[in-house]
């Protein structure tokens, strides 16, 4: 037996039950060993036996179910965009028509004699145009023996619509007191369920945006060094192992490789999260997508474009994105039992009443059962609570991109944080200096000529100093060392200890003590000398954000363990963790390692990851909850489930509280919706008639249905009043 793994893009899935239905159907087919279909990523992963199943046959079987296989990712995107626009149009039409129906019902703009026909016409458009998708999906679900919300919506709204239609055109079939219309109830159900599907599709569509942006990070072109030492511009994806490439100042490195000539400061923040550029020289490895901030280097290619660290990040993101959604869809699960039960009860009700000779009661009671089981409250229970929750979050500076995560946040056991830009401000700043102010103007003049992050930090620290017009000579920016220049024939050095030692500068004891003391506390220290004498140093640090320590304390109170996960060096990471009370630290890790740590911790409990950089995207996507800051990279924001718009760390605590309150409301709504049906259906079936002579007519069934919906809506709106 020869096994083959096939990945396919599948369009046309509108809910998680679509993916479940595909899996159920294909798992029964001979030659298909394993099936995994993700509604979230519109992807299917299949393992087939080549001897009994081919790729073409597999595609035909999927398309037989009413879905479409898109070979090209761009075609899938177009199909999803089309579906999104279609849902938006259907919801807009349905809501507009429904609102107009209510205007006609409660006003005199239409003559009373034609009012019911006008309402019928409007309801027909909603029922068979706007809600056509529910009939199609209900058919698919029933074909796969899967009784989901689509079946419930189609069944309930059809009962209300067709009963009302018979009342309009054949009123003589009904006694005077039973001639009621339920068109408005069916239209309201359809409108709100469409709203829920629209919100879900929008969330799903945005989920892949970050991948497209990430793919543009690596440079498309490379400067290939030929045998005659001339250069030729080639496509980066055409580079072969052992090719030599030239990377100049300001250029991104097009492939993973090793420096064989030159040295430079490389900005690796995209990969490692390090806030300071790393000095790289001959023999050091460099990664695709990182930036050469100064210097010219020659790099020998060690990995193909398909095997670079950046490409691995993209693959990890795809893998994380296709994981199964952890949300429990209460309504759909119970609907698998509820829907067939309602049909059976309606049929039994009809048979019993017909058997005892009460044909009119048989018709009315069975219709009442279907109307009272109409899933208005059930359909509104989750979407209305979610809309209220998302609105409340927005008011608090919390943008919930994927509402489904609200169910997961309350179960979080571990909160894992990136350091740079998340817990810290991500900007190198001078925190202290022992240099006399008389030297500031000269230092400012020299550092102003460099674009290096450290130079910018020093310039910012000295921004209030009056700038003087010095004539600067022999300016030299030395990669990995610092800056060298002359002012009025005085040699000025600003850089690391090695730079001063190479120029035979003796560091004074007092300056050395300050240097060693600050080195223990800060990210780095820049020494300075003028005219062959040391004058002191600048201490650099990436400062903690406001509320960082308070957030960690609050998480511990909620029995959530905080963990620091960063690409920064061990000493810096440990010091930052100690300051805010984090006990577990992972340092010097690249994105692929971060991803592995997340997966490892997930074996012990649900994980929330908070980050803001491009390098954090795989971790954000793999975690059960991905949280990012509005100040972060676009890719991390696209990958995240929640964006902290105000960049306030205490909004993380508010997100947890909002999740807890939202789930309380949803469970209350679902409880009410099902209890209402549990009580209402027997009443509609006529259980009280033998004892009290009472029948629940369709009009009262409709009132009960509407009352349950109002209760659910009002209960959901309480979220807006909650204090987080």
d(CA 308, CA 432): 40
Q: CA-CA distances (angstroms) from residue 120 to 77, 101, 298? A: 38, 9, 76
Say if CB 126 and CB 187 are below 8 A apart.
yes
Say if CB 246 and CB 264 are below 8 A apart.
no
Say if CB 372 and CB 684 are below 8 A apart.
yes
Pairing of strands 43-49, 32-38: antiparallel
Q: Would you call 31 helix, strand, or coil by DSSP?
A: coil
Q: What share of the chain is helix, strand, coil (3-state, %, to 5)?
A: 55, 20, 25
Say if CB 231 and CB 225 are below 8 A apart.
yes
Signed CA dihedral, 185, 186, 192, 196: sign only = positive
Helices 149-169 and 183-206 meet at what angle, rounded to 10? 150
Q: Residue 370's Cα: distance from chain center in Å?
A: 38
d(CA 93, CA 309): 48
Say if CB 462 and CB 444 are below 8 A apart.
yes
DSSP 637-687: HHH-SEEETT--TTHHHHHHHHHHHHHHHHHHHHHHHHHHHHHHHHHHHTT
Say if CB 392 and CB 719 are below 8 A apart.
yes
Nearest to 606 by CA among 558, 568, 662: 558
Identify the active-site residue in 418, 542, 616, 641: 418
Q: Residue 541's Cα: distance from chain center in Å?
A: 31
Q: Residue 574's Cα: distance from chain center in Å?
A: 29
Q: Which residues contact 278 (CB under 8 A, 6 or more apart)?
A: 265, 266, 268, 272
Query: Which strand ranges, in their side-by-side order, compose the sheet holding 297-301?
Result: 231-235, 221-225, 244-247, 297-301, 257-261, 285-286
Nearest to 568 by CA among 275, 222, 244: 275
Q: Is 484 left (phi over 0), alpha (psi -120 to 50) or beta?
A: beta
Q: Would you call 421 helix, strand, or coil by DSSP?
A: helix
- Would you tell me how many other CB atoms lie within 10 Å of the CB of residue 690? 9
Q: CA-CA distances (angstroms) from residue 662 to 496, 520, 559? A: 54, 46, 20
Q: Is 634 a catalytic residue?
A: no
Say if CB 260 and CB 237 are below 8 A apart.
no
Q: Which residues contact 167 (CB under 8 A, 6 or more apart)?
A: 174, 178, 179, 180, 181
- Would you tell me how many other CB atoms lie within 10 Å of the CB of residue 621? 27
d(CA 484, CA 350): 96
φ/ψ of residue 639, rounded to 5: -80, -25
Say if CB 104 and CB 110 are below 8 A apart.
yes
Residues known to be catalytic: 418
């Amino acid at each position: 037996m020869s096994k083959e793994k096939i990945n396919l893009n599948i369009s046309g899935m509108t809910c998680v039950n679509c993916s479940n239905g595909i899996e159920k159907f294909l798992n029964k087919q001979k030659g298909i060993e394993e099936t995994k279909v993700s509604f979230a990523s519109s992807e299917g992963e299949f393992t087939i036996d080549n001897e009994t199943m081919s790729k073409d046959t597999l595609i035909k079987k999927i398309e037989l179910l009413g879905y479409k296989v898109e070979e090209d990712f761009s075609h899938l995107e177009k199909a999803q965009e089309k579906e999104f626009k279609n849902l938006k149009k259907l919801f807009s039409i349905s809501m507009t028509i429904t609102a107009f129906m209510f205007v006609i019902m409660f006003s005199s703009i239409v003559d009373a004699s034609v009012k019911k026909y006008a309402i019928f016409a409007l309801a027909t458009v909603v029922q068979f145009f706007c809600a056509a998708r529910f009939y199609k999906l209900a058919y698919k679900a029933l074909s796969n023996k899967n009784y989901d919300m689509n079946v419930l919506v189609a069944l309930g709204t059809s009962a209300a619509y067709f009963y009302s239609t018979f009342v309009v055109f054949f009123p003589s079939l009904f006694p005077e007191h039973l001639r009621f219309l339920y068109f408005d109830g069916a239209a309201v159900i359809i409108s709100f369920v469409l709203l829920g599907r629209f919100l879900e599709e929008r969330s799903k569509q945005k989920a892949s945006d970050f991948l497209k942006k990430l793919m543009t990070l690596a440079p498309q072109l490379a400067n290939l060094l030929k045998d005659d030492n001339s250069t030729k511009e080639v496509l980066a994806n055409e580079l072969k192992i052992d090719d030599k490439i030239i990377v100049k100042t300001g250029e991104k490195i097009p492939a993973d490789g090793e420096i064989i000539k030159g040295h430079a400061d490389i900005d690796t923040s995209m990969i490692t999260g390090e806030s300071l550029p790393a000095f790289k020289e001959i023999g050091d490895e460099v990664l695709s997508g990182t930036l050469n901030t100064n210097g010219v280097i020659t790099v020998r290619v060690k990995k193909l474009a398909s095997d670079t660290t950046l490409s691995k990040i993209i693959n990890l993101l795809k893998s994380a994105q296709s994981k199964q959604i952890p949300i429990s869809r209460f309504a759909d699960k119970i609907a698998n039992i509820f829907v067939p039960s309602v049909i059976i009860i309606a049929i039994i009700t009809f048979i019993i009443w017909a058997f005892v000779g009460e044909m009119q009661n048989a018709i009315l009671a069975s219709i009442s059962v279907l109307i009272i089981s109409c899933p208005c409250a059930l359909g509104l229970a989750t979407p209305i609570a979610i809309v209220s929750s998302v609105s409340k979050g927005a008011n608090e500076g919390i943008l919930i991109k994927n509402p489904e995560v609200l169910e997961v946040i309350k179960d979080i056991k571990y909160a894992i944080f990136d350091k740079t830009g998340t817990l810290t401000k991500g900007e190198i700043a001078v925190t202290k200096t022992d240099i006399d102010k008389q030297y500031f103007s000269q230092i400012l003049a020299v550092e102003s000529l460099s674009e290096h992050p450290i130079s910018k930090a020093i310039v910012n620290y000295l921004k209030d100093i009056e700038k003087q017009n010095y004539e600067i000579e022999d300016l030299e920016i030395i990669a990995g060392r610092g800056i060298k220049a002359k002012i009025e024939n005085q040699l000025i050095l600003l850089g690391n200890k090695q730079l001063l030692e190479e120029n035979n500068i003796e560091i004074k004891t007092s300056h050395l003590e300050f240097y060693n003391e600050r080195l223990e506390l800060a990210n780095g220290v820049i020494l300075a000398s003028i005219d062959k004498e040391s004058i002191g140093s600048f201490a650099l640090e990436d400062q903690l954000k406001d509320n960082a320590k308070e957030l960690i304390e609050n998480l511990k109170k909620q029995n959530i363990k905080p963990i620091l996960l960063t690409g920064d060096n061990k000493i810096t990471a440990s010091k930052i963790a100690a300051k805010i009370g984090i006990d577990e630290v992972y340092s010097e890790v690249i994105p692929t390692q971060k991803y592995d740590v997340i997966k490892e911790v997930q074996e012990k409990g649900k994980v929330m990851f908070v980050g803001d950089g491009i390098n954090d995207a795989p971790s954000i996507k793999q975690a059960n909850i991905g949280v990012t800051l509005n100040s972060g990279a676009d890719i991390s924001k696209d990958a995240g489930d929640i964006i902290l718009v105000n960049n306030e760390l205490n909004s993380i605590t508010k997100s947890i509280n909002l999740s807890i309150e939202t789930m309380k409301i949803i469970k209350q709504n679902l409880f009410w919706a099902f209890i209402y049906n549990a009580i209402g259906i027997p009443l509609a079936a006529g259980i009280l008639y033998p004892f009290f002579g009472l029948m629940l007519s369709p009009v009262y069934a409709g009132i009960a249905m509407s009352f349950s919906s109002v209760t659910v809506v009002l209960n959901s709106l309480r979220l807006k009043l909650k204090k987080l």
